Amino acid sequence: MTTSTLRMIEDMGGLDTYLLSTPEAKLKSDAASAVKWEVITALRAREHRERTLLRAQPQPQQPQQQQQ
C-alpha cells in the first residue's frame, strides 16, 4: 500500500469508507476486493438484523376514544 493510499484512507475517514467508495477497478488487489466484499456483507447483515429487531418490537397501542 502506498503512502498516498494511506493518506486517502485517512482523509476519507477509514478503511471501510475508502473501500466502499472506491470502484473495484481502482483497488488493484484481490485482497482489497475481498475485504471490500467482507465489509459489504457485514453491513448488509447488520442492516438486516436492525430491520428484524425493529419489526419484532411491540408497537405502542393508541388509546381508544370513548364514545358519548
pLDDT of residue 21: 92
Q: Say if residue 41's pLDDT is above 80.
A: yes
Q: Rounded to whole angstroms, how far apart are CA atoms 54 and 57?
A: 5
Please answer whether residues 19 and 39 qualify as being in contact, where contact means their C-beta atoms are separated by less than 8 angstroms: yes
**In the chain, where the domains are located:** 3-54
Q: Taking the model in full, what pTM does it have? A: 0.67
The three grid cell numbers given for residue 32, joined into one nine-digit string: 482489497
- pLDDT confidence tier of residue 51, bands split at 50, 70 and 90: confident
